[in-house]
Amino acid sequence: MDSFMRRAVQLAVDNVREGGQPFGAVLVKDQEAIAEGVNELHKNYDVSGHAEMLALRRAQARFQSNDLSGTVMYASGEPCPMCLTAMYFAGVQKVYYCASVEEAVEAGLGKSREIYEDLKKPKEARSLPMVEMPLEKGQEDPMALWKKR
């Protein structure tokens, strides 16, 4: 096993021992660990406080950039849809993980699989309703304003 993955797994083990969930992540660029994270939901009551999200946030703060192109994420567990999406937005080039979503389900952590399945459905069939609301007449259009920038 790669040293970065060993570190991600050790972070996850330590987090479980401290009362958290079994997830750790290490973000790497040019064979150097640039940021780490563990799920901190139990500490901060923040559903976005996942290991991968925190590693991304820390790297972006460190480099004062949203662009993390050329980085590689090592995660103790298969990333959830939120974390995976954030990695797409940040430009992460590859993700390695140990435990699959199916293994997480077996351990009692099955929300990711439910969300992945829900996202495969058309918008109108998903469990979280999404309703488009047009701008009011005369209301400034933020997208139009962005295009003019």
Q: What is the pLDDT of residues 69-128, one digit of tens each?
A: 999 999 999 999 999 999 999 999 999 999 999 999 999 997 899 999 999 999 999 999
d(CA 18, CA 27): 22
Phi, psi of 134 (to 5 degrees): -70, 160
- Domain tally, the chain: 1
Q: Is residue 133 part of a domain?
A: no
What pLDDT is attached to residue 125?
96
| pTM for the model | 0.92
Q: What are the distances in angstroms from CA 22 to CA 10, 15, 78, 106, 129?
A: 10, 6, 11, 13, 30
Q: Is residue 50 part of a domain?
A: yes
Eight-class DSSP state of 63: H
Q: Is residue 141 part of a domain?
A: no
What pLDDT is attached to residue 97?
98
What pLDDT is attached to residue 1?
74
Is 40 exposed, middle or buried, given 0-12, 13-18 or 19+ CB atoms closer than 10 A? buried
Q: Is residue 59 part of a domain?
A: yes
Q: Which domain holds residue 59?
A: 3-123
- Catalytic machinery residues: 52
CATH of the domain at 110: 3.40.140.10
